[in-house]
Amino acid sequence: MKKVLSFDIGGTKIAYSVIDEQGVFIKDVVKVSTPDNAEGIKNLFIKVIKENYNDIDGVAFSTAGAVNNEGTRITSFTGNLPEGYNQTDFSSLTDKPVLVENDANSAAWAEYTCGAAQGSKNVIVLAIGTGVGSGIIINGSLLKGKSGAAGEMHFPIDSGHKRQCKGCGQYDCFESFASGTGLMVSAQKVMGANATTYDVISGCQKADAVALQVFADWQNYLIKGMIMLGNVFDPEKIVLSGSMAQFIEYEKVEKAVNSSILTQPLKICPAKFENNAGMLGAAMLLIGKL
Ligand SMILES: [Zn+2]
């Protein structure tokens, strides 16, 4: 049975474990604080690889940033990770097979191989949190594009220069309305300057009319985006993950999307995995290539 060491690299924590070809975590997940410099991160990788070297067939990394089509290098900015981290030459860390993949793509692959989208060949996973991340699987392959950056959820969803997107600079972009941050910005316009997503959710639970409207508008932006994705990609399933996914009215959203798309009906459901999805997906991607 093939086994790989898999890392999930975040701005505050790096997690790792050893995962087998059936997607089973055969070692407890270890979490450590992310070192504050790129050299420290590299040294951590080398130390952990050395500790596990005799038990593994390869090393996988789930990371922020776009990753090249060879799965060896990061090709973009990596947010709150230390300067220089995105220059890491992952394949130089060990003589075993190595694979690096973007964290949203990795999480999507976890849902596709072991989670909520098992058995479907065409799947879109949207991670709705601070932003909207995505992983798109078409005909059983991860959609990477020419530079590994495919699946950026930045496209116009409204008009009238209502809101400038912090991610892409364009106005009225899907991410700037449909993310958790988008919900918060919408809430602050009508519920007060300090309103949070929590205020919207708790307001909805108390049947507050303003909160219910803010939530309904946010969900409608999500629906609009998913109609576009349904028409363009014709997926069997759209899987929703991230901190906001638990609040979505799945039945209502699925019905609304299916009443507007030109393609055959699709399913919309919550993700199976939250934590460790990136680690699992990156491991499964590497195991598929061993
Ligand atoms: Zn944008």
Q: What is the DSSP string of 32-84?
A: EEPPSSHHHHHHHHHHHHHHHGGG-SEEEEEESS-B-TTSS-B-S--TTSPTT
In angstroms, the CA 253 to CA 103 distance is 26
pLDDT of residue 275: 85
pLDDT of residue 27: 97
**101 in helix, strand or coil?**
strand
Architecture of domain 120-270: 2-Layer Sandwich (3.30)
**16 in helix, strand or coil?**
strand
Domain ranges in the chain are: 3-109+275-289, 120-270
Output the CA 171–ligand 1 centroid distance in Å. 7
Output the CA 75–ligand 1 centroid distance in Å. 19
The correct CATH number of 3-109+275-289 out of 3.30.420.40, 3.60.20.10, 3.90.230.10, 2.70.50.60 is 3.30.420.40
Ramachandran angles phi, psi of 268, nearest 5°: -125, 125
Output the CA 143–ligand 1 centroid distance in Å. 20
pLDDT of residue 235: 98
Per-residue model confidence as pLDDT tens digits over 112-157 = 999 999 999 999 999 999 899 999 999 999 999 999 999 999 999 9
Output the CA 190–ligand 1 centroid distance in Å. 23
Output the CA 165–ligand 1 centroid distance in Å. 5
In angstroms, the CA 73 to CA 51 distance is 23
pLDDT of residue 274: 83
Output the CA 95–ligand 1 centroid distance in Å. 39
pLDDT of residue 80: 86
In angstroms, the CA 5 to CA 48 distance is 9
Output the CA 26–ligand 1 centroid distance in Å. 39
Strand order in the sheet with 13-20: 30-33, 13-20, 3-9, 58-63, 98-102
pLDDT of residue 73: 95
The token pair at 208 is 């507050």
In angstroms, the CA 234 to CA 257 distance is 12
Output the CA 163–ligand 1 centroid distance in Å. 10
Give pLDDT < 70 ranges for the chain. Answer: none
Output the CA 59–ligand 1 centroid distance in Å. 33
pLDDT of residue 79: 84
- Same fold for the domain at 3-109+275-289 and the one at 120-270? yes
Amino acid, res. 94: T
